[in-house]
Structure 1
Amino acid sequence: MAQKKILLLSVSAGAGHLRAAEALRCHAAAFGGAAQATHLDVMDFVPKTFRKLYTDFYIKLVNKAPALWGYLYQFTHEAKPNSYIERLRRAVERLNTAALRREIERFKPDAIICTHFLPAELLARMIRKERLACPVWVQVTDFDLHRMWVHEGMAGYFAANEEVAWRMQACGIAPERIHVTGIPIMPAFAVPPDRIVCAQELGADPAKTTFLLMGGGAGLGSMDAVAARLLALEGDFQLIVLAGKNAAALAALQSLAVRHPGRLFPQGFTDKVERMMACADLVITKPGGLTTSECLAMGLPMIVNAPIPGQEERNADFLLEQGVAMKAVDGVALEYRVRHLLEQPALLAQMRERARALGRPLAGRLVLEPVLAA
């Protein structure tokens, strides 16, 4: 098989689209000389003002006015593609992405995989105008399908599950172009690391029930306040908290850990999330498509909190329906759910088995196989 140059296009509006593309890039290495994968963030090829509007505004909106984002999510889903506002939006995007189109022409890819709808939409027009000859594939990164992901001329679509595939068909995508692969996550999740080794690295007890608190505390309070609330519960458990790049949160958690020796393990930014997950029996997180896919691959049940209206709400619905997650609308609900699971270890074990059955740790490889075979 001749080597194929694969271009992975994502958008840094939230971390999930980037992480999916990076996962595909890493999985490509497993194909040896058959694939040369390069990942580009579309936002690196647009003017600064457009980038701030597209990414910074999105992040502020979902954090400060989630209800408004939920309205926009549904409005754009239902908008007619040929309406004035949709044509204006696409025109603005085209005007601001000329540098990206030039970079694609310079790169001369054999195939393109989009992990965000913006590049898919731009490339669909190029295909229609006969300005792009290589096949373009689309990876949807949530357990739901928004209309803006669907475009004519795409070589194929990759769906997180059968329901998303069904929705794709309902939108007019031919069944033979749809592949149910799951959402691509890093290869490290396909071979979970040893729990004992990972716990010892943290100084935690591998035999003790362990909860992992991830992501922002929106809807539940600050991370140190959430941790303090959980540690006040009765029960023999320990808590790992990932503060990411939030230095203030990490400092507050480290101060709290002094008062709870051997029970609280604060962590800053890490690119080894799978090692934290290997220690855990339950994850408390926002229901992003990538994070929840990682949890499922590790066989980890979840308590999901503060889902963004739109895509994350749909993700949460899927997880709840499958019996692998509970939902906490506030701190009181979180406290109740955790206590409930501590009192019913058989239920937690049942959720874990369901999560393991749903996990698709090799999704990245399953995506690349038809791309390379085409």
Structure 2
Amino acid sequence: MDTHFIAFVLRALAVRLHTNRDFLSWYEHTKPDFILCTNFLGGSVIASIAKRANLKVPIFVYAADVFNNPKAGYCSKIDRLFIPTELGVKNLLSQGYTKEQVRLSPFPLQPSIQQMEKLSKSEARKLLGLEDCFTLLLNLGGEGIGSTALVKQLIKNKLAWQVVVVGNLSEASKQRFHALAKQLPGMSMHTPGFVSNIGHFMLACDVQAGKAGANALMESLSLGRPFLINELLHAARNTQTFFLEYQVGWVIRQPKQQMITLKAFAEDKTRQQRIEYNLKALPLQFDSDQFVNLLLNEVKSLAD
């Protein structure tokens, strides 16, 4: 369903349904200087309504998927699209947007990560009460949904690493992970669940694994930690292309192959050093303040 035709249908509906009336009512009450949409459908819907009503307000879209923006959100009337990767710029241009519309932007890190002290692995582990050994951070996201298959493979192959599971976990999920860890003496299992200091947990790990959520992925890269994606969502489909080009992570669906890849990484210092170098050389900027300045400069240029 992610096609230009669906984008056309959505734009046509937007200017004919109650969304049109409701948005214009909100606009008259608020009178914003510009509008920034962080959802691809919001950008398409709002730009369609605003341009048809001849509203003199810039409509910006931040491509939250960082490597692409769904075709279902295509709208030629968007004034600016901001995306943090060169691969993303290439993909937006191939959809039909112009160079005047697309801007390569910094990735807007959350303040808790941008402003925190960059501790060493040992320092971060000490702060969090973790052991100072090879550590896998398993990120199950805000939904706390994920498989135990990778942990089972670690146990089967007697890889007694330290595993930290974060995300909005239920008590039953926590108990399931701890029950598994008891099968392998020496495996250290921690299940803090949802945490407000996720940056410290990223600094404490050697590698992070989970689904391809853009925020978790980009934050991990900003802190110099490789990412293993075990569930590739449609919106993040170009992550694999990025990983193949820059060698800073893996997209692997099969738990056994995930285990084999992580084992090779854990046992090869040369490979670890190479990925560490690649992470430092990434052509990415991570800075919320610079992102804000870019927005304001674009507003000013359109006003001029």
TM-score, normalised relative to structure 2 = 0.82
Q: How does 1:210-225 map to 2 (within 5 A)?
A: 210-215=135-140, 222-223=147-148, 225=149
Q: Deviations over 1:75-104 (max 9, x none)?
A: xx242755xx55665467x43575454334
1:292 deviates by 1.2
Distance 1:358 1:98, change over 3 A: farther
Partner of 1:24: none
**Structure 1 residues 170, 363: closer, same or farther in 2, change over 3 A?**
farther
Question: How many Å apart are 1:182 and its aligned residue?
Answer: 4.1
Q: How does 1:281-300 map to 2 (within 5 A)?
A: 281-300=206-225
Greater CA drift, 249-258 or 313-322: 249-258
- Kindly indicate whether the alpha-carbon contact (under 8 Å) linking 2:105 and 2:291 is maintained by their aligned counterparts in 1: yes
CA spacing shift, 1:340–1:110, aligned 2, 3 Å: same
- 2:154 counterpart residue number: 230
Equivalent-residue separation in structure 1 for 2:165 and 2:77 (angstroms): 44
Are residue 157 (structure 1) and residue 81 (structure 2) matched?
yes
1:108 matched to which residue of 2?
A: 31
Residue by residue, what CA displacement relative to the aligned partner does 1:295-317 show, whole Å, maximum 9, x if unpaired? 11011112111212x22222233
Contact 2:137–2:208 (8 Å) recurs in 1 = yes
Residues 183, 289 of structure 1: 8 Å contact kept? no
Structure 2 SS opposite 1:175: coil
The Cα shift of 1:358 comes to 2.2
Q: Give the conservation status (yes or no) of the 8 Å contact 1:257–1:266.
A: no
Change in Cα spacing, 1:117 to 1:327, as seen in structure 2 (3 Å) is closer
Amino acid in structure 2 at the alignment position of 1:154: I
> What does residue 249 of structure 1 align with?
173
- 2:240 aligns with 316
* Amino acid in structure 2 at the alignment position of 1:113: L
- The answer on whether the counterparts of 2:230 and 2:251 sit within 8 Å (CA) in structure 1 is yes
Give, as a single letter, the amino acid of the residue that structure 2 aligns with 1:79: F
The one-letter code matched in structure 2 to 1:343 is E
Aligned ranges 1:1-374 → 2 under 5 Å: 72-73=1-2, 77-79=3-5, 82=8, 85-86=9-10, 89-90=13-14, 94-96=17-19, 98-142=21-65, 143-190=67-114, 191=116, 193-194=118-119, 195-206=121-132, 208-215=133-140, 222-223=147-148, 225-235=149-159, 237-256=161-180, 263-308=188-233, 310-358=234-282, 360=284, 362-373=286-297, 374=300
Change (3 A) 1:115 1:81: closer
* Structure 1 CA distance for aligned equivalents of residues 74 and 162 of structure 2: 44
Summarize deviations over 1:92-144 as a string: whole Å, max 9, x none.
7x435754543343222212111112221122123322353221211111212
CA distance 1:356–1:99, shift in 2 (3 Å): farther
- Cα distance in 2 between the residues matched to 1:96 and 1:78: 21
8 Å CA contact 1:182, 1:360 repeated in 2: yes
Aligned to 1:28: none
- The question of whether the paired residues in 2 share the 8 Å contact of 1:78 and 1:147 is answered with yes
Distance 1:351 1:186, change over 3 A: same
Q: Secondary structure at the match of 1:113?
A: strand
- Name the stretch that deviates more: 252-261 or 313-322: 252-261
2:137 counterpart SS class: strand
SS of the aligned residue for 1:213 comes to strand
User: Larger % of helix: which?
Assistant: 1
For 2:179 and 2:15, locate their aligned partners in 1 and report how far apart those are by CA, in whole Å.
51
Sequence identity of aligned pairs in percent? 19
Deviation per CA, 1:193-218: give whole Å up to 9, x if none: 42344312432123x221111127xx
For the 8 Å contact 1:239–1:263, the answer to whether it is kept is yes
2:81 & 2:202 partners in 1: Cα distance?
A: 29
Render the CA deviation track for 1:3-40: whole Å, top value 9, x for unaligned: xxxxxxxxxxxxxxxxxxxxxxxxxxxxxxxxxxxxxx
Please say if residues 211 and 281 of structure 1, whose CA atoms lie closer than 8 Å, have aligned partners that are also in contact. yes
- Cα 1:100–1:255 shift into 2, 3 Å: farther
Residue range with higher mean Cα deviation, 292-301 or 254-263: 254-263
Q: What TM-score does the superposition give when structure 1 sets the normalisation length?
A: 0.68
Distance 1:226 1:163, change over 3 A: closer
2-structure distance, mates of 1:334, 1:287: 15
Alpha-carbon distance change, 152 to 343 in structure 1, aligned in 2, over 3 angstroms: same
**3-state DSSP of counterpart to 1:134:** coil
- Distance in 1 of aligned mates of 2:171 and 2:139: 15
Unpaired runs of at least 5, structure 1: 1-71
